[in-house]
Structure 1
Amino acid sequence: MHKWSALTAVSIGTFMLLVDVTIVTVALPAVARDLGATLGGLQWVLDGYALALAAVLLASGALADRHGRRKVYLGGTVLFAAASLLCAVAPDAGLLIAARFLQGLGGAAMFATTVAILSVAYSGKDRGVAFGVWGAVNGAAAAAGPIAGGLLTEHLGWRWIFLVNLPVSLVAIWFTLRGVTESHGRASTGNKLDLAGTVTFTLSAAAVTFALIRGGDAGWAAPSTLAAFALAALALVAFIAVERRTDHPMLDLRLFARPSFSALMAAAVLAQAAAFAYLPFTTVWLQQFLGKGPVDAGLLGALPMSAAAFVAAAFGGRFLQRVPPRWSIGTGLLLIGAGALLQARLTPASTGAALIPGLIVVGLGVAAVLPTMASAALAAVPNERSGMAGGAVNTFRQLGFALGVAVFGSIFAHRLAGRHAPTDAVNHVVAVAGFVALAAAVLVLLVVRTGRPAWEAPAAPKAAEHPVVGESV
């Protein structure tokens, strides 16, 4: 069996499920026309997937430990493919949003096993290379989504952005069967599904996202908005109470007593929001106000970032894995912030090319942040909690995208409703993203003290030794 077959299997699946976070962005105008979706509905088409992905990642890890990481990865891929087919044939926005939630569940089952599969398959410097490639795939996938979406939407129709997942899923399944060895968790450490924690976390995340989207539509003092915020707070309190009392929490809250871990989780949320969550709104500006087609919108709105992230990660990934995470992540966030602020200088006479320099800088920052974020979290916690830490990074990253879309959507809608120029609305959204990234950079540089290079984070035990249960993500 080829040395890198497991990495290939994980990379294909990861690329597909992360592309689907952003592939819809350039198709939003076409979806709105065909299905009569409102701005709020379009935000849910994006957030439904990201929320489901975030909400069940850690719970999926417990299932993977009990039933087998390879088996759960394959099951998630099958569910993802089936949900993609449902998305493609959805007759209205409501069913499309529901199918996107199902897609997120399948994606979570896949994503939940990626770190464990790589940790079991590789160690030492090979593990650093594997995480570097996987991180490059993470960054390139999220930014490449709008490009693929533009090509498919313009030439075949928006439904093909989901149909294309069917053959890719088959390829991922083939490589998984060929190259991934089954592994489980140790029964002695517990691998029970934390159902109460999963439900309360999901409810809190969904309620706060609804409140943010609803606030932009109905007003921040509207009863429905205030009720959603109250429900989110109550669910969060319930989640904390559940996690503190259960013997097998999906997220051990004691990890947050470590300043470095807490800072990295905050950075995961803020980095994903700042780097990617504004892209739907620059895409709307390019298509609806500049008259660009989906392909041009995807190329102008994402290709510079995607290319810069991929090239920088490919050539600098091994070096970054040897730099203390505080500096690689902090510097990357500074670049993301600077790149966003470069884009926030549009005028009514600006063309789409005005976004390119800033997108390139953001891409360089993404290449520095994403490849080291997960392994830095592993290095910041005890060895027996390394899998849970990796899963938490993925969870908080996707939550950051969902919340970012909701917040930026409210800002965008508010500026347009105030009869400001579309360029002014885009400038405000991207400027907020820039300041968010800069704040995250300051937090990481001041607080994170994980001294080990990311590739020296301890490897998980081999499959025959039964890696730690409940922490496979």
Structure 2
Amino acid sequence: MRKWLPLLTVCLGTFMLLIDVTIVNVALPDMRTDLDASFGALQWVVDGYALAMAALMLGAGSIADLAGHRRTYLAGLALFATASLICGLAPNPTVLIAARIAQGIGAATMSCTTFALLNAAYAGRDRGAAYGMWGAVAGASSAIGPIIGGLLTEIVSWRWIFFVNLPFSVLAMALCLVVLTEGERAQHNRIDVAGMTIFTASAATATYALIRANEHGWTNALTWWLLLGSGIALAAFVAIEIRSDQPVLDLTLLRDRFFTGVLIAGATLYFAAFAALMYTQIWMQSSLGLSPIAAGAVGLPLSLMAFVVSGALGKYLHGDNPGRIVGAGLALIGLGGLLGALFVHGDASWPALIPGSLLVGAGVGLATATLSSAAMSTVPWHRAGMATGALNTAQQLSFALGIAALGGLFTHRTRHVLDNPATTAAGVQLTLAVSGATALLGALVVPILMRRRTPAAAESTDTTARFDSESTEHAVAERLS
């Protein structure tokens, strides 16, 4: 049993950082009342966390490769716990948003170490089992957030959705000190501060522009200047990375069609499966009058399906055709989104969400673990932090921008009237339709990009064989330990 303690330690952190992506959704109406928050502020409560994760994930991965994955994971846990405490005590929206951003920084430093820590602890079939179990936790965490959030919000207070992180953080830190081992560190000695800073500025400016457009309209001149500034910053980031000896993101990785497919798949999955959840929660509570517990429970089918599928199939989903598996997962998510859009109409109620949620959950469970192991298969061990960081950046940035972009569609349909079931249902219907269509498009593109050219070419261009071969896995594990 002791050999699975490293997995438990990593899964505790994963569970907390992913559950905090969506746990706030169900508490947004109470936050709005208690803190007198605007709709834009509510978007930032969700987006501030996701954006911090997305913007800092690459930099955190480079730091982890240099400073050590165990040490970085521990530091992230400590910051995450401290920020959670401040979130729970926040007296106004400004403090809450700032603390959520700090939470996201802690989550980024934890997330970028996940697979390096698992690789250091396990090899052979144990590694496959660990990936499968981690995938089950990851697949269920984001979906189960509204359920836990609903229980805590209604029974105690919305503030307890943050306070509950504290005992789990303490347990994870204690286990980290006792059971995790530190792998070999990268030999470079410089962090790409300029690249990290410019990328963060580009992502934050784009997100702010989208949220501002929701409040002030697309005719607002400042919105377009912000978007232009974001584009210029992104171009500057590319220029910096091309010239950097030790870039925060090695752009040559994007020449690998397989790795590019992994990033596109991760971005599509998080946008299509999770970005619309904020608006379904607003519909159920503000328009249908559901309690936080009841609204959170509506997400249970998605959560259970993701957990069951990933837990049952995760260890079998690391073969030679990950693109097909991920593509199938995206197809299920797409069909689920379109099914939800079909059933949610003016006089619909919460059961209209269930059939689509089951399909989305199955797709999330099918794709999550496969996608993560596929990302790791493209890089050598000393770039584990960069690969994980790139994938998580794509996922969280897509989620953050998705919240902002779908928010524009939602408010356009609802005309900012959130207590009218008919107009709010129309807004939810549109967000689900766009999410579903995006996932189906991804299901067509991703398998093509993630198709291995030939067995020989695949062996020469990536390290998939290392993760599939037990003897080589043992060699890598010994090098990491």
Question: How many angstroms apart in 1 are the aligned matches of 2:214 and 2:384?
Answer: 39
CA contact (8 A) 1:119 1:460 kept: no
Q: Which amino acid aligns with 1:319?
A: Y
Matched, 1:31 2:31: yes
The alignment partner of 1:251 has SS state of coil
Compared with structure 1, are the counterparts of its residues 323 and 140 closer, same or farther at alpha carbon in structure 2 (3 Å cutoff)? Answer: farther
Residue 58 of structure 1 and its aligned partner are, at CA, apart by 2.1
CA contact (8 A) 1:183 1:464 kept: no
CA contact (8 A) 2:123 2:477 kept: no
Q: Which amino acid aligns with 1:423?
A: A
Matched, 1:313 2:310: yes
Aligned to 1:435: 437
Match of 2:240 among 239, 242, 249: 242
Deviation beyond 3 Å, 4+ runs, structure 1: 380-387, 450-455, 457-467
Residue 465 of structure 1 and its aligned partner are, at CA, apart by 3.5
Aligned to 2:182: 182
314-323 or 264-273: bigger deviation: 314-323
Aligned to 1:446: 448
Compared with structure 1, are the counterparts of its residues 379 and 330 closer, same or farther at alpha carbon in structure 2 (3 Å cutoff)? Answer: same
% identical aligned pairs:
46
Question: How many angstroms apart in 2 are the aligned matches of 1:316 and 1:463?
Answer: 24
Q: Which amino acid aligns with 1:109?
A: T
Question: How many angstroms apart in 2 are the aligned matches of 1:28 and 1:68?
Answer: 37
Compared with structure 1, are the counterparts of its residues 371 and 453 closer, same or farther at alpha carbon in structure 2 (3 Å cutoff)? Answer: farther
Q: TM-score, normalised by structure 1?
A: 0.94
The alignment partner of 2:147 has SS state of helix
Question: How many angstroms apart in 2 are the aligned matches of 1:20 and 1:454?
Answer: 34
Question: How many angstroms apart in 2 are the aligned matches of 1:75 and 1:184?
Answer: 18
Question: How many angstroms apart in 2 are the aligned matches of 1:461 and 1:97?
Answer: 45
5+ residue gaps, structure 2, are 456-463
CA contact (8 A) 2:329 2:367 kept: yes
Residue 441 of structure 1 and its aligned partner are, at CA, apart by 0.7
Question: How many angstroms apart in 2 are the aligned matches of 1:248 and 1:379?
Answer: 21
Match of 1:225 among 223, 244, 254: 223
Q: How does 1:190-209 map to 2 (within 5 A)?
A: 190-209=188-207
Aligned to 2:269: 271
Match of 1:416 among 392, 414, 417: 414
Matched, 1:456 2:456: no
Matched, 1:344 2:344: no
Aligned to 1:359: 357
Residue 184 of structure 1 and its aligned partner are, at CA, apart by 3.8
Residue 63 of structure 1 and its aligned partner are, at CA, apart by 2.2
Compared with structure 1, are the counterparts of its residues 182 and 453 closer, same or farther at alpha carbon in structure 2 (3 Å cutoff)? Answer: closer
Question: How many angstroms apart in 2 are the aligned matches of 1:132 and 1:309?
Answer: 12
418-427 or 224-233: bigger deviation: 418-427
CA contact (8 A) 2:65 2:385 kept: no
Residue 385 of structure 1 and its aligned partner are, at CA, apart by 4.0
446-455 or 5-14: bigger deviation: 446-455
Match of 2:386 among 385, 388, 398: 388
Residue 15 of structure 1 and its aligned partner are, at CA, apart by 0.3
Residue 384 of structure 1 and its aligned partner are, at CA, apart by 5.5
Paired positions, count = 464
Aligned to 1:325: 322
Compared with structure 1, are the counterparts of its residues 369 and 454 closer, same or farther at alpha carbon in structure 2 (3 Å cutoff)? Answer: farther
CA contact (8 A) 1:120 1:460 kept: no
Residue 87 of structure 1 and its aligned partner are, at CA, apart by 0.4
Aligned to 2:132: 132
CA RMSD of aligned residues (A): 2.0
5+ residue gaps, structure 1, are 468-473
Compared with structure 1, are the counterparts of its residues 377 and 454 closer, same or farther at alpha carbon in structure 2 (3 Å cutoff)? Answer: farther
